[in-house]
A and B are shown apart, each in its own frame.
Chain A
Amino acid sequence: MKQSVTVVQDEKGNFGTMVKDFVIKLIPAMPKWNGKTLVRKVLIPLASIILFVGLWHVGAKALYNIEADYKIQKALTDQGQEAADQMAACIASGDVSCQPNTLPSPAQVWTSFNTLIADHKAISADKAEFKAKTAALNAKREAEGKAPIVYTGRPSFVDQIFTSLKTVFAGFLLALIIAVPVGVIIGLSTTLRNSFNWLIQIFKPVSPVVWLLLVFMIVKTMTKDSESDSAFIISFISVGLCAMWATLVNTAMGVATVDKDYINVAKVLKLGPIQKVFKVILPSSLPLIFTGLRITLSVAWMVLIAIELLAQSPGLGSFVWEEFQNGANDSNSKIIVAMFVIGIIGFLLDRIMLTVQNMVSFNKNATA
């Protein structure tokens, strides 16, 4: 909301300090340190984490035992005592070939996490090596007007995370571009709001899967002749369409319920219709619009995983699905790693949006 007022300009630093301010705002204010806050802010949360991991460990152990007993029992009934003893010995030895397949324990998940990181390092090194090798060749090809040779190896887990983030931001931007202007227009007119209401009410609860199929029907036909990456297009459009409703409804509501005092001010000052929208209505509905955008971003991140899983577009969703189909010994623990990564990224995205929301709110602070 920068106004073109030279005399009354806010003291604003350069972009660097703005970014720094933003990062500082992301971190909750540090309380004064004493025994009480130490217990409340550190020890109790820490205890809850330990309790969670402990319960998880115990539960995983119990499931493991059930699965192991079943395996031994099965060997006993199918092949007799000798096979059963062999199976028990094999399980006890920790051999990969006969491990029961069930909920992984925290330790297994931690191992898988390290495996995935190591894998990422290996792939990155591989990529760098490939790049160095093909640098000269690519320069030559480019000079001849040919497309350069690109790395086509398997993406690492970290690459998948970035692909997912790219898709979610594309979807979020699409939602923003559609929902905010449409919401403003709908919010301004009671007639439009009433006539579009059925559409919003019907499409809002539609499941992401159905949106995906709908988008698939359209995009498949539209990208028939082009070489573009239709999986990416399908998934980001589906994400955008699923997630935009919260912003649409909130924007329309924010615009429709602008404080009557502000409207009276606009009337008394005799602002034109466009000025009224941009100088009074939009700024006063910004807090609600950002609340909508915050919901949209979390919904987008949530449905993204399901959509990637179905659309076979690269990303965390397809990583989870491939691991599940893979059925390797550490597949289950890799899925749990992905689960935590998804959760943590979702939390961070929400935190960022909350901070932005608080920055644009002029009268109250939104809370988590």
Chain B
Amino acid sequence: MAYLELKNVSMTYGRGANATEVLSNINLTIEEGEFVAIVGFTGSGKTTLVNLINGLLKPTSGEVLFKGEPVVDTSHERGVIFQNYSLLPWLTVGQNVHMAVKEAFPKASKKEINARVEEYVAMVNLSPAINKRPKELSGGMRQRVSVARALAMNPEMIIMDEPLGALDALTRGNLQDEILKIWSKDKRTALLITNDVDEGIYMADRIIPLKPGPNATLGPEFNINIERPRDKTELNDNLEYKKTRNAIIEYLMGIGEERKSASKKIYELPELTPKSFVA
């Protein structure tokens, strides 16, 4: 039995004439302990897909199964790291994490909760900033808080919705390593949604491109058979890496070309001649 399974999932927004099918016929299986990345263009319905899996949205048709049970609501078993951090700005770093821990472990004592908050804030190297509010932090630090908040709830699966999308390239690289380091500790099942093919290859076991929407659907999957831990600089010379990367980019660019040339309509321009003001 697959750990997470999407069967013929379709998602339509709006009704009647205004209906747009964002996702259609999505089929996906993720096994326990796997790290899967989904790559796609901006606006291809990636966030919708994430919200279907974490339970914020319900599919129009098809099923989302988590450990064999249909997903009907959000759950502490699936931790989410949002694209825009979604930290509560009126709470400090510690309080943001504290709120999540308290919900995930309602029976824990105050002392245990506080210890856990400190542990996870320390894990993302933010102990000195524990009493700061999100607006005092940089983008990378905010995303680290978001990571700590999701992991402190001890989820069985981590869902990351373009977690590093808004960061600069250097911070991005650092955080990728940090997330991988944390992930490799207990190999929780992870789903990464990204628009960066390199990020996907560097982090995941399997990459699946998402064809752009409307009617977005998943393309053929690519397995990444590169030993972990992976080294970013060595990766550049890795044949397997180059091959996969080129194949994925070719596939995605192919779709892009297809999408561009999809419009075959020829527009006829009216015949106009400029008026002469000389005569």
A contacts, CB < 8 Å to B: 1, 3-11, 261-262, 264-265, 267-271, 279-280, 283-284, 286, 362-363
Contacts and interface: CB of A to CB of B under 8 A. Distances in A.
Contact of A7 (B86, B117, B133): B117
14 contacts: A1-B90, A5-B117, A6-B110, A8-B94, A8-B130, A262-B86, A264-B82, A267-B55, A267-B74, A268-B80, A279-B99, A283-B90, A284-B89, A363-B89
Contacts of B74: 267-268, 270
Contacts of A271: 103
Contacts of A363: 89, 135
B123 to A, nearest CB: 15
Given A261-B82, A265-B86, A270-B75, A5 B94 contact: yes
A283 B153 CA distance: 23
A268 B54 contact: yes
Nearest to A272: B103
A286 B90 CA distance: 10
A11 B92 CA distance: 12
Instruction: List 9 tightest A-B contacts by C-beta distance, closest first.
Output: A8-B94, A261-B86, A362-B90, A362-B89, A7-B114, A283-B90, A269-B103, A265-B86, A268-B80
Interface string B195-207: 0000000000000
| Chain B CB within 10 Å, residue with most, of A1, A6, A7, A270 | A7
Given A283-B90, A363-B135, A267 B56 contact: yes
B182 interface: no
A117 B133 CA distance: 49
B132 to A, nearest CB: 10
A269 B95 contact: no
B125 interface: no
Contact of A3 (B54, B55, B95, B103): B95
B84 interface: yes
B226 interface: no
Contacts of A264: 56, 82, 86
Interface string B127-169: 0001101010000000000000000010000000000000000
B28 interface: no
Contacts of B133: 362
Contact of B118 (A7, A268, A279, A362): A7
Contacts, number: 74
B93 to A, nearest CB: 8
B197 to A, nearest CB: 27
Contacts of B153: 269
B95 A268 contact: no
A8 B54 contact: no
Contacts of A270: 74-76, 103
Contacts of A11: 131
Interface string B90-111: 1111110011100110000010
A286 B84 CA distance: 22
B60 to A, nearest CB: 19
Contact of A8 (B76, B98, B100, B135): B98
B253 interface: no
B222 to A, nearest CB: 29
Contacts of B118: 7
A285 to B, nearest CB: 11
B2 interface: no
Contacts of A265: 82, 86, 88
A7 B198 CA distance: 39
Nearest to A11: B131
A280 B96 CA distance: 11
| Chain B CB within 10 Å, residue with most, of A7, A268, A284 | A268
Contacts of B79: 268
A324 B88 CA distance: 55
A295 B48 CA distance: 40
B99 A8 contact: no
Contacts of A6: 110, 114
B84 A8 contact: no
Contacts of B110: 4, 6
Contacts of B95: 3, 5, 8
Contacts of A262: 86, 88
Contacts of B104: 269
